[in-house]
Amino acid sequence: MSIFNFCHRFVPCLADPARRTSLGLKAALVVLHIVYAGILFLFDSDLIEKTKQEPWSYTALYLLLCVATLIQYFVTSCSSPGNVLDAMRDVNEKNSLFSKASMLSKPPASSKNGSLIITVEGSQSERNIPGSNVTSWTKLVLDMHPPGTSIRTVTCSYCNVEQPPRAKHCHDCDRCVLQFDHHCVWLGVCIGWGNHCRFWWYIFEETALCIWTGILYITYLKANISRAWLKDVIMILLLVTLSIALIFLLLLLIFHSYLILTNQTTYELIRRRRIPYLRGIPERVYPFSKGVCRNLYNFCCARSSIYSLERLPTAMELEDKSRPYTCLEFLTCRCC
C-alpha cells in the first residue's frame, strides 16, 4: 500500500483533489504568517529586548493582530455563504408548519383566484398564482419580481431549484449561492450573502497586519542595514513580496468597500450586461442601493438571517435612482 493510499484511508478528505488543494492553501497561508513574524523576531534583537521589557505593549498588540487575522481567516473559510437549497427547505418547512397551525386554529377559507400574500423585505404584496401545486419557495421567488412585469424565473439545471434574483450556481462548490459574489480560492469557499461581511473584515485585518509588518521590517533595515548582509538580503526579499501582497490587498479592500457602499456584488459588476435583471439599466445606476448609510447598516448589522432576500426594484424606483442629485439633495443627505 502506497503512502498516498494510506493517508486517504485514515484522512478521507485528502482523497478529494479540491479539498486537498484547499487544505494545502490554508496550510501555506498559516506558514507564511509564521515565517514573516518568526524571521522578524529571529533577526531583530532590539525588538526581542523590547518585548522582554514590556511584554504587553507594542509587540503584544502585533502578535494579537496576527492571531486575530488567522482566526478570522478560518472563521470565514468555515462559514456558509447562504445556500439556495437550504433557504428553500427553510421557507417550505415554515410555510407547511404555518398552514397546519392555521388549519387547526380556524376552518379553511375558500378562495376562487388562489391569491397569495408574501412578505419580502418587510413589505407585503399580493400576486395571483394559478394552480395549487406551486411550492412556497416558488411563490416567494415570483413575489420578488415587480408587479406588472413579465416574470421569468431561472431554474438551476444542477440543483433543480428556482433561483431568486442575485443568486448563482457555483461550479466549484456545486451549489447555488444567495447574493453570489465570487468563489475565493484562498478561502476555499464561496463569498455570498452569509459571509461577505466576515470576508471584508478578514481583508481589513490582513491589510492592517501587512502594513504593520512592513513598518517593522523597514525599521529593522534602517537600524541594521550594514551589519549582516545575508540577513539584509532575506529581509529585503520578504519586504518586496510583502509589498506586492499589500498592494493587492489594498486594491481588494477598496474594491469590496465600493461594492458594499453601492450594494453590488463582484459577479453583478463584471457580468452586468449578461444578467437578465440588470439588462437595460444604465451603468451608473445601482438598482439595489438604498443609500450609503442604509447599505452599510444592512451589510454590517441587519444580517440576522441568511434567508432574507431582496426584491427587484420597480420601474419607478429605477427612474428615481437614475435621477442625478441636486445640491439640496446632497445637503439633505439623499445619497445616504
Compute the Cα dihedral for 318, 274, 306, 181 and give only its sign: negative
Tell me the CA distances in angstroms from 222 to 47, 211, 227, 232, 235, one per residue in order: 13, 17, 11, 10, 11
Contact assessment for residue 33 and residue 66, using Cβ atoms and an 8 Å cutoff = yes
**And the C-alpha cell for 212?**
504593520
State how far Cα 334 lies from the chain centre. Answer: 27
Give the number of other Cβ atoms within 10 Å of residue 129's Cβ.
16
d(CA 99, CA 91): 12
SS (H, E, C) 149-208: CCCCCEECCCCCCEECCCCEEECCCCEEECCCCEEECCCCEEECCCCHHHHHHHHHHHHH
How do strand 115-120 and strand 189-191 relate by DSSP bridges?
A: unpaired
Alpha carbon of residue 173 to chain centroid: 14
Who contacts 207 (Cβ-Cβ below 8 Å, separation ≥6)?
246, 249, 250, 253
Alpha carbon 29 to chain centroid, angstroms: 19
d(CA 208, CA 218): 16
Q: Which residues are catalytic?
A: 184
**172 is written with which cell numbers?**
466549484
